[in-house]
Amino acid sequence: MRTDLPNAGDAVMPAPGTRPEYTPVEEHYRIDINSRWRDLDTDSWRLNIAGMVDRPASLTLDDLRAYPALDQYVTLSCISNPVAGNLIGTTRWTGVSLQQVLADLGVQGGRAAPRHPVGGRLSRVGGARPDRRR
């Protein structure tokens, strides 16, 4: 049992035959149209933020890494996962607060929704995967 889970001290244990609460990276399900991860060019990658912000920006990975790291346990489940299926996993993900980034860029009032085209591809940054510190 992982001792760093938020509820590690709780007396409640998973029912026999259910999936573990924490999913090691190597046991995460993966469904992708690509046969392998593609590596990003960390020198040229940018997160472009424009639209309803006072200061549009093209942030580099170093810009994002300057923010405090935020760790969060998240459960991801495939939309095709049947009840009690195995296409589900929970692990610790590390990133930055999008709320903080947008606040720093002067997000404007009104309604807005992020658009994040990925072109049907998953990417990793320098071998980064869930539960791996920078």
pLDDT tens-place string over residues 44-89: 989 998 888 899 999 999 999 999 999 888 888 888 888 878 888 8
What is d(CA 70, CA 62) in angstroms, rounded to the nearest whole number?
15
Domain ranges of the chain: 25-31+44-109
pLDDT band at 117 (very low <50, low <70, confident <90, very high): low
Contact 21, 13 (CB under 8 A): no
pLDDT at site 1:
42
Six-digit token pair at 52? 């309803």
The vertex-71 CA angle with 77 and 109, nearest 5°, equals: 85
What is d(CA 31, CA 40) in angstroms, rounded to the nearest whole number?
19
